[in-house]
Structure 1
Amino acid sequence: MDLDTLLSFDWGAMAPEFIILGTATLLSVIDLFMKKETSRKPIAWLTGAGVISALVSVLMQLDHKVTSILFDTYRLDSFSVAFKILMLLGTGLVLVLAASYKKDDIEENRGEFYYLLLTALLGAMMMASSADLITLFVGLELLSLSSYIMAGLEKRDKRSNESAFKYVVSGGIATAITLFGMSYVFGLTGETNLFLIAQNMQDPEILKHGFLLVFAFFITFAGLTFKIAAAPLHMWAPDVYEGAPVPVTAFLSVVSKTAGFVIMLRLIIITFIAAAGIKGDSLLLQVQPYVMVLAAVTMIIGNVTALKQRNIKRMFAYSSISQAGYILVPFVSNSSLMFELIWFYLLAYLFMNIGAFTIIQVLTTQAKSNDISVFRSLFKRSPWLAVPMTIFLLSLAGIPVTAGFVGKFGIFMGALGGQPAHYWLAGVMMVGTLISYVYYFNVMAVMFFRDGEEAKISVPPGLAVVLAFCAVSTVILGIMPELALNFFYGNFDINEFFMRIEDIADHVH
């Protein structure tokens, strides 16, 4: 690539990524030369400034026309902007948790946590804008490798070491599976660009190998289910959620999960939308029953296993698994509102999950225990914590007047409104939701009706702001969901995601 070609690209499209990359590089250099005993608060402030600057940069791209650079390996469109907003917002809230997280054996590694958080975010953002198998995989690995290290930052904690080891091993296996599936896609089509792959899927020669296309889909999809913690590749989640520091757990449950669904939408929908199955029918329609079973099993396993958990972080891990099952339902229903449903639910999940983990961090750090008993008599000790936690639990359970209810109701109606309607999948979703009432309401019962120590609870100002913001957002989106939906419809043209394959192929050439 010559200099003229390099300068001809519209590099402004990558402004948010450049901000995050520059901030992470600057922080790593600053941390390298800071003395060990020096406070890392300046690094936290710089990290926050970088995330806010990147978020502002993304918001400024709302009216930006579709831009493709680096030979269509990087693509700025409404889809990427919509999900980058969620990623940056979630990372900003997690950053406040991290700045307030106090634990002796993590202080010496606090500096590296901040730039690892930014590199993980950078990988997620690259996945949102990738239009090529290579850049998708690079973004996925950047997110994964940073997450592996963050999960084991508490080096003197055996559970943290165990969680990091299990995460690396299971993540490596999932990566190998995903790459194996991608290799079949490349081998069949001879392309790495997602849109050119979709175009080549209609080639008569490739249509003769319907079995291999179905095989490639299943292998790739199976590998990607690891990132969203869907069954059967979900067993890493409970151990990692328990052993990792609370801010890392919050990041994995929100930002990493969002990135997982982003890569599934980018790769699966674009690549296989024009693919034919074994008998010539649409591949995505043929595999619907299998994805349906996967979603149902994920919902049931997550909710049923959460019933017997006494460790609050493990309980939320299984809750996260069940939530992944709910978000998989739009993939089955093929609803025209699929993007809106997934985006809104991930937005609601961001507020209610990070809010819940904020309270979990306050209580578990003070009690030095992850047992559910840390919530005993919380209403008497600190009603200002008990009330927001109740809001978050009700939202996670899908009770009306919360954002979680609106998100679940939309997904439920999408399953019934599809052609054909998926009644039994909607039934499984209802049963899973009813089961979840048991363990969510159990936490509420412990907070309001179980006596415990009357020790006072102190909440750092930063965490109080996060709690208030998440609680208010959860209620407002539950009462007036049109605020988020109008923002979505007014700023994002998801039809850009389905631009004509032929036009994009001509643009690439």
Structure 2
Amino acid sequence: MSAYNANWSLMTPEIVLGILALVIFTIDFMTGVKGKKPFLGRMSIIALLVTAVLVYINRGAGTIADIFIVDHFSTMFKIILLVGVAIVIAISMHYLDKNDDVYQGEFYSLMLFAALGAMLMVSSADLITLYIGLELLSISSYCLAGFKKHNRKSTEGAIKYVVLGGTASAFILYGMSFLYGLTGTTSIIDISQVISSLYVDYPFIVVMSILFMLAGFGFKISIVPFHMWAPDVYEGSPTPVTAFLSVVSKIAGFAIVLRVFFTTFLGSEGVLYDEWTWIIAIIATVTMIVGNLIALTQKNIKRLMAYSGVAQAGYLLVPIAAIFIPSYSIGVIIFYSIVYVFMTLGAFAIITLVTEDSGRDDFSSFSGLYKRSPYMAIAMSVFLLGLAGLPLTAGFVGKAWIFISAAQAGMLWLAGVMFVTSVISFYYYFGVIKQMFMNEPNPNDVELKAPLSISVVVTIALAVTIILGVLPGLMIDWIAYIQW
């Protein structure tokens, strides 16, 4: 399709979000960069929800010059990401009220630009478009991670994030250069049509392309051994930014891994199937083991969530490695992404509330939380048990579906590793629950009252976690109905 005759209305959500991000930034500049501006937070949430509605209205198959795809895959992931960023901003409103050293307009604008980058990523059908979206998301994330510029840990984490993130981007570009050198095109669709025949003649170059791109994307989704940045960055970043990196950035990374590997490296004839699925299966195994074992030793709640996020990335890799039916694997990942977003952001909403009240990030800040705020303690327990995979939670359904996908693909050993590591995760999640229910509150702690934004986020996340745990068919049937 010619670029001149393309249906540019397919990019309406991205254009609207970009304009609204600039509007919010301009309003912040015109009203002075300092001071509390809760109206900007509400405007940002409205902007994201309006964009999500436009994404849904714009759903369906369509492309712009074979570089930008609007299909069911991109629509689902865009809505997940936009809702996730909206929840993060709702959490941020409480955090920014407690911290006067964070410029609110810039913070919200960067969140919206990061969401825009993620949207471009998941709709990319071209390596250049993909990289532009990736860098827009990455650069915004670097700035957000170091937003508390007078905090040593925040600055240290941001520097590590920038250096390692730049290295990861270089790996991705190097892997892309192999594909471009072999095919003479940057179109993912065109590459997929010739990759099988090229692999016969140039197996080493194709495999090197897979490895370099997998290493670069592996950093973005914090899989082992590319996870080293996560604990320090998560600990040093403002808590809402930690939530953003743990959920939105990770889900966007997985979406693009699916797009690139399922479209490009699966090949038109499936010749490359055994080459990259076994690589991912091994990485998934190591990621699940390392993430859960190191989480056992953590006493800082944000570092615990960092290693928990590493382990969760391992679980999400399982259906990518165990391709029984590609559309089935995508459905599994979509479902688990939805429940992971709500469980994790619900937990981070409570973590933000508790740590900002106590001024500490260690487990002791949760001591006696049940006596200070019973609702928050019960909700936090549900979120943690959901992440561990306890029955009657959405996390259990998601993990069970991933387990079944591995078994159907004949990878029983991978399913076994997933089961054992999930059991291990109960230990460190129960460590936090023990603090909340079995320990006495700290002497200076009083009744903990949650602001409206935190209460709304926790209530919605709790409802999704329980409802999809008891009635998973509400979401599974809908996902299965979609023609991928």
Q: TM-score range by the shorter chain?
A: over 0.9
The aligned residue for residue 433 of structure 1 is 422
SS of the equivalent of 2:281 reads helix
Counterpart check, 1:67 vs 2:58: no
Counterpart check, 1:282 vs 2:277: no
CA contact (8 A) 2:96 2:102 kept: no
The aligned residue for residue 367 of structure 1 is 358
Q: Which of 217, 238, 241 pairs up with 1:245?
A: 238
Q: Which of 80, 84, 93 pairs up with 2:74?
A: 80
Distance 2:346 2:12 in 1: 29
CA contact (8 A) 1:188 1:206 kept: no
The aligned residue for residue 313 of structure 1 is 302
Distance 2:439 2:196 in 1: 63
- 1:452 Cα shift? 2.2
Distance 1:206 1:261 in 2: 25
Spell out the pairing of 1:21-420 with structure 2 (5 A cutoff): 21-62=18-59, 64=60, 66-69=61-64, 71-102=65-96, 107-203=101-197, 207-274=200-267, 282-336=271-325, 337-418=328-409
CA contact (8 A) 2:74 2:122 kept: yes
CA contact (8 A) 1:100 1:463 kept: yes
Which amino acid counterpart does residue 416 of structure 1 have in structure 2?
A
- 1:290 Cα shift? 2.2
- 1:485 Cα shift? 1.8
Distance 1:390 1:25 in 2: 39
The normalised TM-score by structure 2 is 0.96
The aligned residue for residue 440 of structure 2 is 451
Distance 1:31 1:144 in 2: 23
| Count of residues paired in the alignment | 480
Q: In the TM superposition, what whole-angstrom CA distance separates every residue of 1:88-141 from its partner, at most 9, and x where no partner exists?
A: 110111110111114665544211011100110000000111100000000000
- 1:282 Cα shift? 2.1
The normalised TM-score by structure 1 is 0.91
- 1:42 Cα shift? 2.4
SS of the equivalent of 2:360 reads coil
SS of the equivalent of 1:310 reads coil
- 1:6 Cα shift? 6.0
CA contact (8 A) 1:402 1:478 kept: yes
Distance 2:277 2:312 in 1: 19
CA contact (8 A) 2:35 2:100 kept: no
Distance 1:184 1:132 in 2: 15
Q: In the TM superposition, what whole-angstrom CA distance separates every residue of 1:320-371 from its partner, at most 9, and x where no partner exists?
A: 0000000000111102210011000010100100000000000000100001
- 1:35 Cα shift? 2.0
CA contact (8 A) 1:105 1:155 kept: no
Change (3 A) 1:183 1:6: closer
Distance 2:40 2:219 in 1: 32
CA contact (8 A) 1:395 1:403 kept: yes
Which deviates further from its counterpart, 36-45 or 117-126? 36-45
Change (3 A) 1:106 1:152: farther
Which amino acid counterpart does residue 34 of structure 1 have in structure 2?
T
Percent identity reads 42
The aligned residue for residue 506 of structure 1 is none
CA contact (8 A) 1:198 1:270 kept: yes
Distance 2:477 2:54 in 1: 21
Change (3 A) 1:36 1:334: closer
Distance 1:206 1:378 in 2: 58
Which deviates further from its counterpart, 135-144 or 104-113? 104-113
CA contact (8 A) 2:372 2:441 kept: no
CA contact (8 A) 2:175 2:210 kept: yes
Distance 1:470 1:415 in 2: 28
